[in-house]
Amino acid sequence: MGTYDTNVLRKDHTLIADYDYMQNFCKQELFEYADKTKREEAIHEYGVKLRKELQFRIADLDADASKWFKMVYTNPTRYGVMLTERDIK
């Protein structure tokens, strides 16, 4: 939702740090997603929009595929921002 709003709708990305804005946003705008069916439909729609409008390569996984991916995926090692390529062996 944030990626779409920032990159497609061009909303101000600094609003995430505005407590008053986020409090109002959560109370009013996120209320419509309290229903599980609406929430799942919205998630699917955002995925379609991100793939179409921003050319994101995001898989639309069902529950079983998601579990499989989490089981086989190995997170890459993160060394920190201060290391150079020469420091990593």
The pLDDT score that the predictor gives to residue 89 is 63
Its pTM stands at 0.60
The residue written with tokens 């595929």 in the block is 65
Phi, psi of 56 (to 5 degrees): -70, 140
Say if CB 34 and CB 28 are below 8 A apart: no
Tens of pLDDT along the chain (89 residues) come to 888 888 888 989 898 888 998 888 888 878 888 888 998 898 889 899 999 999 999 888 889 999 999 999 998 877 777 777 777 66
The pLDDT score that the predictor gives to residue 28 is 83
Say if CB 66 and CB 20 are below 8 A apart: no
Phi, psi of 77 (to 5 degrees): -70, 135
Cβ neighbours of residue 63 under 8 Å, at least 6 residues apart? none
Domains in the chain: boundaries: 2-74
